[in-house]
Amino acid sequence: MLIEKYKIDEFNQNGWDEHQRRFEFIASSAKNVEEVLQKLIDFQIAIPSWALGTGGTRFGRFSGGGEPRSLEEKIEDVGLLHQLNQSSGGISLHIPWDIPGNVASIKALAAQHGLRFDAVNSNTFQDQPDQQHTYKFGSLQNVDKAIRKQAIEHNIEVIKQGIELGSDALTVWLADGSSFPGQLNFRKAFQNVLESLEEIYAALPENWKMLVEYKAYEPNFYSTTIADWGQSLLLANKLGPKAFTLVDFGHHLPNANIEQIVSLLLMEGKLGGFHFNDSKYGDDDLTVGSIDPYKLFLIFNELVEGMDARGMNHATDLGWMIDASHNVKDPLEDLLQSVEAIQIAYAQALLVDTKELEAARMENDVVKAQEIIQGVYRTDVRPLVAEARIRAGGALNPIQVFRQAKVRETLINRRGLKTVATGL
């Protein structure tokens, strides 16, 4: 569903004067406000098709009602988010959870909502009802050649689906690994994954990227065959210029210095994209910025600095996606919160005076360097983010509009209370 434009304009009147005061305050002190606003407007974050329903844990799942029952309804939900924040202009599909029945009508529906198809994701971490071989002991790493072949063919099929939709990247995340010492020959497993990825890589169109995602542990608990950025980079380097490392915020061991990882990957020209979420202990998939917004800002600071150093376009040269799960919140409200948290961190990173910071570093002035970084982090940039959203045609306060327009109630009426989004 979409909300009538005039209603959004009406809702925007609430708190308008206060917004103006707050925006003028920050606009009077920040140097490059117009440039920051344009970059915020251009910056789009893809929403994954699996994040629109309530997620669950291995203990249970509590449905919230009105969840999308089809790919069409998922696109409509992302379209609504994009209408409200004007920053969710991409949707990332998981195959086979979301195989488009009629590609032309799916593309038309997405275009109608101003959405593009972001990276397509393969799935070899669970068995599908009609598949011949099981992935219980891994997919691309499997000791059985026939199983590897099945997983390779699935990835090539996903590329084909993506080409039809106008996507230009394949994200590969493997659950492959081992749960007990002795279970796996590490070298053989890695070699099998490399050889399998080489076959998939060969099927990539010229303008496509392969994003190799890593994860420290889970669902395997002793080893993961692509466990960290070193292993992912090793694969990306061996595969070739179309292969890149994909960093997911929650896929690290506790306290990993993710900002340093993205900095070095950018230096090597091998960072392909970033998956946003937040975590306290492990791959918790919580709302972006809900636990450690400072870490998010520090990562963005390195992303912006590293991309600028290579002359990259922030909006288009890396894949940006939210990869989170919503167990106790309305998924759409949660996604609105996540997008705003990303924009806040991005806006703050854009305000860092990099020349001044570099000068402080050259003087070994540790205190000044910290003051510069934290000075920006402690600046309330929410009025900048809101101004960018309004100028792009969105809502001053997306969550407030979502609630006042009774979106969830309407979706429950239309779709039912006990719907379950596919894939979760």
Stretch that binds Mn ion, among 1-9, 180-188, 200-208, 268-276 (CB under 5 A): 268-276
C-alpha to C-alpha distance for 289 and 274, rounded to whole angstroms: 14
Site string for Mn ion, 211-250 (x = CB under 5 A): -------------------------------------x--
Residue from 323, 330, 334, 387 touching Mn ion (CB under 5 A): that is 323
The beta strand positions in 167-294, using DSSP E, are 169-173, 177-178, 209-213, 223-224, 243-248, 271-276
Q: What is the DSSP string of 340-392?
A: HHHHHHHHHHHH--HHHHHHHHHTT-HHHHHHHHHHHHTS--HHHHHHHHHHT
Please, what is the minimum distance in Å from the beta carbon of residue 321 to Mn ion?
Answer: 7
Please, what is the minimum distance in Å from the beta carbon of residue 96 to Mn ion?
Answer: 18
Nearer to Mn ion, 250 or 306 (CB): 250
Site string for Mn ion, 26-65 (x = CB under 5 A): ----------------------------------------
Stretch that binds Mn ion, among 18-26, 299-307, 323-331, 335-343 (CB under 5 A): 323-331
Nearer to Mn ion, 6 or 281 (CB): 281
C-alpha to C-alpha distance for 215 and 277, rounded to whole angstroms: 14
Nearer to Mn ion, 120 or 386 (CB): 120
Indicate the SS3 state at residue 266: helix
Stretch that binds Mn ion, among 65-73, 202-210, 267-275, 345-353 (CB under 5 A): 267-275
**At residue 31, what are phi and psi to the nearest 5 degrees?**
-80, -45
Cβ neighbours around 284 below 10 Å, total = 17
Residues between 273 and 302 that touch Mn ion (CB under 5 A): 275
Indicate the SS3 state at residue 137: coil
Strands 177-178, 223-224: pairing kind = antiparallel
Nearer to Mn ion, 79 or 319 (CB): 319
Nearest CA to 289 among 346, 231, 360?
346
Q: From residue 386, give the alpha-carbon distance in Å to each of 76, 86, 262, 383.
A: 23, 11, 28, 5
By CB under 5 A, tell whether 154 contacts Mn ion. no
Nearer to Mn ion, 23 or 320 (CB): 320
Residues in touch with Mn ion (CB under 5 A):
248, 275, 323
